[in-house]
């Protein structure tokens, strides 16, 4: 249970960080989080999309609908997300908070 709570708080930061690297659609972000964490952090798509919608509502990211062609030749609508300046500022704040909490935990465990 504690791991789930810690993970939920980190997903926003990881999402904004990945969008700083490049624009991406939701499923891509879910896969990147899993891949870059070496499978230690997995995100359910059903709980991830509400986060994307909230980040967009808060002005941290924007989404653009694009049509992509699949290998089968069929077309598919995807929303490509892009981080805005407010999102970069939010990421900096989240990283600072994360580092403070991490240092506090280390201080307690090392005492």
7-62 per-position pLDDT tens digit: 677 999 999 999 999 999 999 999 999 999 999 999 998 889 999 999 999 999 99
Q: What is the pLDDT of residue 1?
A: 42
How many domains does the chain fold into?
Answer: 1
| CB half-sphere exposure, 86, CA atoms < 13 A | 8
> pLDDT tens digits, residue range 71-106?
888 998 999 999 999 999 999 999 999 999 899 999
CA distances from 101 to 7, 46, 68, 84, 91 (A): 14, 28, 41, 26, 15
Cβ contact 63:56 at 8 Å: yes
Residue 107, pLDDT > 80, answer yes
Cβ contact 26:46 at 8 Å: no
Q: What is the pLDDT of residue 3?
A: 58
Any idea of the CA torsion for 99, 101, 104, 105, to the nearest 10 degrees? -110
- CATH number of the domain within which 57 lies: 1.10.10.10
Range of the domain at 102: 2-109
């Amino acid at each position: 249970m504690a791991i789930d709570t810690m993970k939920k708080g980190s997903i926003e930061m990881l999402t904004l960080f990945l969008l700083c690297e490049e624009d991406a659609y939701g499923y891509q972000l879910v896969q990147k989080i899993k891949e870059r964490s070496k499978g230690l952090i997995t995100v359910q798509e059903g709980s991830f999309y509400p986060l994307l919608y909230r980040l967009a509502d808060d002005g941290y990211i924007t989404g653009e609908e694009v049509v992509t062609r699949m290998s089968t030749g069929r077309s598919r609508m995807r929303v490509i997300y892009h981080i805005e300046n407010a999102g970069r500022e939010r990421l900096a704040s989240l990283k600072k908070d994360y580092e403070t909490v991490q240092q506090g935990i280390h201080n307690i465990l090392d005492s």
